[in-house]
Amino acid sequence: DAGVIQSPRHEVTEMGQEVTLRCKPISGHNSLFWYRQTMMRGLELLIYFNNNVPIDDSGMPEDRFSAKMPNASFSTLKIQPSEPRDSAVYFCASSFVGGGSPLHFGNGTRLTVT
Amino acid sequence: DQQVKQNSPSLSVQEGRISILNCDYTNSMFDYFLWYKKYPAEGPTFLISISSIKDKNEDGRFTVFLNKSAKHLSLHIVPSQPGDSAVYFCAASTDSWGKFQFGAGTQVVVTP
């Protein structure tokens, strides 16, 4: 079991640029979650998918943020255009079914927008 | 609106002693609770869970207690070991989709 795989581990970009974060969930899991961790807000849920379908995107901060899950083994979180306040660690997590099943997190992508 | 609160940002404990981490919540509809441990530059890893139908769950050195009337849960680590030094998050969920809300975390430092 390779666990949840995120790429890149670190991303430094200039304000206004497009940023794409990638996630490969654990094989067999049918739910995928994108979280963001900041000092001010802690771990906050941005969006989650079940069977590749977005269920709740109420945590997405602005229209600049979008997420897709084209198949069961891949998801992207895109920020366009990026701003310095988007600087944070972005985590992807997956689980089976939901219903209280523990989330399995990737190691995160540390995003710095200058 | 923070519905899950960890009011102690840090905790220092001697090796071999008990670590007690606390978590309070405001939403009475939460029915499943998790504790996660996080090392620097890594993602949170699952430690232990408890559902609202129980008041205690134990797994080795880790025990979670749930007091529904007080909307409070705690994590006990006995005995504490240097490898337990990490940030601990509590998380709670109300729905069947596994949508969890996390507390701000408590940094635990276990000293020799």
pLDDT tens digits, B10-39: 999 999 999 999 999 999 999 999 999 999
Helix and strand counts by DSSP (H, E) for chain A: 0, 11
The mean pLDDT value for A14-38 works out to 95
Q: Distance from A87 to chain B by nearest Cα, in Å?
A: 15
Q: Distance from A43 to chain B by nearest Cα, in Å?
A: 6
Cβ–Cβ under 8 Å, residues A114 and A12? yes
Nearest CA-CA partner of A93 in A46, A12, A10, A25? A25
> Which residues on A lie below 8 Å from B42 (Cβ)?
107-108
pLDDT in tens, B60-85: 999 999 999 999 999 999 999 999 99
> How far is residue B57's CA from residue B31's CA, in Å, rounded to a whole number?
14
pLDDT in tens, A44-79: 999 999 999 999 999 998 899 999 999 999 999 999
The chain-wide mean pLDDT, for chain B, equals: 94
pLDDT at A84: 97
Of B41, B98, B104, the CB nearest to A103: B98
Kindly state whether A51 is in contact with chain B, defined as any CB-CB distance less than 8 angstroms: no
**In the predicted structure, residue A102 carries a pLDDT above the cut 90:** no
Picking from B7, B94, B99, B101 by the largest number of A CB atoms within 10 A of its own CB, the best residue to mutate is: B99
Strand partners, B19: B77
Q: How many CA atoms lie within 13 A of B11 on its CB side?
A: 25
The chain-wide mean pLDDT, for chain A, equals: 93
- B98 to A100: CB separation less than 8 angstroms, yes or no: yes
Percent of all residues in chain B with a pLDDT value above 70, rounded to a whole number: 97
Cβ–Cβ under 8 Å, residues B73 and B20? no
Kindly state whether A39 is in contact with chain B, defined as any CB-CB distance less than 8 angstroms: no
